[in-house]
Amino acid sequence: MDLARDIPILRDLPLEMQDIVLRVLLFLIVIGIVWMLRRVIAAIILSPLTRVAKRSKTSYDGIVLDAVRGPLNLVIIAVALGVTTSVMDFGPEIKGVSDLVARSMFIAALTFTAYNLVGLIALTPAIIRRTTGLKIEERLLPFLSTVVKVFVVIMGTLIIIQEWGFDVTGLVASFGIVGLAFSLAAQDTAANVFGFTAIIGDNPFDVGDFIITSQAEGIVEHVGIRSTRIRKLDQSLVTVPNNVMTGAAVTNWSRLSKRRIDFYVGLTYDTTSQQMREITSKIKEMLLSREDVDPESVVVHFVRFGGSSLDIRIICYVFIADWNAYTAETEAINLEVMDIVESMGLGFAFPSTSVYIESVPKSKQPAAKRTKRYAPASQEAAEVLLDNSPRESDTPNQANESASNDSD
């Protein structure tokens, strides 16, 4: 069968061109058939490994199969390309280009296999610590996975470029210069990214923690690559760059294992020494009986004679981190102290001042001349009082005479 005669387009071509065109057509037909059957061929190749993976007790065999299944299609095309060009004898130049393409496809397949493995393997902090000895926070794993994927793609690309005869060293150097210029232009962004890494690595706080910094005070809502968002007590949202967060002191109130209760109780000065001993003992027993109070931290002592009270200092720690629960426990302890004071018949002191009068100045008017003034019951009575009262112009004798006449 002469294909050149059966195909009208090839009849008018020279013999050499007919041969080249026929080989190209056969090449494309073979590659097309392999391309359409690539999934079937891959399934045939992987069938023994699939049976082994099903019998395996670990999940890693299935992970490897999932990572290899896609890149294997590329390997099948590369093998078909290399074999077809060798059999059809296209010449050394075309054979060399075909080999470069086939090797590049092999490298790309390996690169994508590694890329898939990074995405499929469920890394945990325990696995990383067991294999590498490094302690990594779980929230950092997605970021590390992205970094590793980018590194794998860059390395695969550089190897392929080197296969084609380009100078990778000069390319890397040029990338370094471009990277330096980029880092100078985006140094704040780079600082925030490194700040994110530091926050995740050091783990000074988690989402949901209540923290206090020089920038804000509130609950952490989000830790991103560029910034951290904090919800303040007034419900306003503050966005703080990560490089600022890593450079500031952070107080994390949510990491408390216990909280301190410290207050004074002032009793009146009529409290006796025996009553003072008894009340301090009862308060201490009350604190030791409470479930949330650290028994080793209880301190109850009569500490000083205050300006208007006898002061008892009460100190203890409670195993409560939540603020609402802490205030409720403080209230319960305060009420217990009040019950103890009331049951003993004692009283709470309050600031007071005692005034002592040594002498009262005497009135300049003689006692005989002092008169009591009463509010008149009516207008007529007021007029009578005014008429009978001594006037400034009257002498003492005239006043006495007026008084005697009235008595008559």
Which of 45-59, 102-116, 284-298, 339-353: highest mean pLDDT?
A: 284-298
Residue with the larger pLDDT of the pair 91 and 341: 341
Structure tokens at 336: 């217990």
Q: What's the CA gap between 230 and 311, in Å, rounded?
A: 42
Residue type, 150: V
| Total-model pTM | 0.47
Whether the per-residue pLDDT at 192 is higher than 90: the answer is no
Structure tokens at 66: 């999932």
Q: What's the CA gap between 147 and 129, in Å, rounded?
A: 18
Q: What's the CA gap between 199 and 213, in Å, rounded?
A: 14
Whether the per-residue pLDDT at 247 is higher than 90: the answer is no
Residue with the larger pLDDT of the pair 172 and 246: 246
The contacts of residue 188 (CB under 8 Å, 6+ apart) are 241, 243
Whether the per-residue pLDDT at 128 is higher than 70: the answer is no
Structure tokens at 311: 């002061």
- The mean per-residue pLDDT over the stretch 80-107 comes to 79
Whether the per-residue pLDDT at 374 is higher than 60: the answer is no
In angstroms, the Cα distances linking 54 to 65, 72, 116, 358 are: 11, 20, 20, 106
- CA-based torsion, 188, 194, 200, 205: positive or negative: negative
Q: What is the pLDDT of residues 393-403, one digit of tens each?
A: 444 444 444 44
Whether the per-residue pLDDT at 191 is higher than 80: the answer is no
The predicted structure's pLDDT at residue 159: 85
**Nearest CA-CA partner of 350 in 280, 279, 275, 269:** 269
The predicted structure's pLDDT at residue 305: 94
Q: What's the CA gap between 174 and 61, in Å, rounded?
A: 41
The predicted structure's pLDDT at residue 398: 46
Q: What's the CA gap between 73 and 89, in Å, rounded?
A: 25
Domains and CATH numbers, the chain: 3-185 (no CATH), 203-254 (2.30.30.60), 256-343 (3.30.70.100)
What is the pLDDT of the chain when averaged over all its residues? Answer: 77
Three-point CA angle 198, 199, 202, nearest 5°: 75
The contacts of residue 153 (CB under 8 Å, 6+ apart) are 111, 115
Residue with the larger pLDDT of the pair 67 and 6: 67
Q: What's the CA gap between 358 and 364, in Å, rounded?
A: 19
The contacts of residue 64 (CB under 8 Å, 6+ apart) are 53, 117
Q: Please state, for a pLDDT cut of 70, what percent of the chain lies above it.
A: 70
Whether the per-residue pLDDT at 61 is higher than 70: the answer is no
The predicted structure's pLDDT at residue 23: 72
Q: What is the pLDDT of residues 332-351, one digit of tens each?
A: 999 999 999 999 999 999 88
- CA-based torsion, 149, 150, 152, 156: positive or negative: positive
- The mean per-residue pLDDT over the stretch 288-308 comes to 93
Alpha helices per DSSP H over 121-241: 125-132, 141-163, 168-185, 187-202
Strand partners, 348: 267
Strand partners, 251: 212
C-beta of residue 269 within 8 angstroms of C-beta of residue 278 = no
Exposure string of 149-186, with b = 16+ CB inside 10 Å and e = fewer, is eeebeeebeebbeebeeeeeeeeeeeeeeeeeeeeeee
The contacts of residue 269 (CB under 8 Å, 6+ apart) are 308, 309, 310, 349
Q: What's the CA gap between 162 and 261, in Å, rounded?
A: 69
Whether the per-residue pLDDT at 102 is higher than 90: the answer is no
Which of 48-52, 139-143, 179-183, 399-403: highest mean pLDDT?
A: 48-52
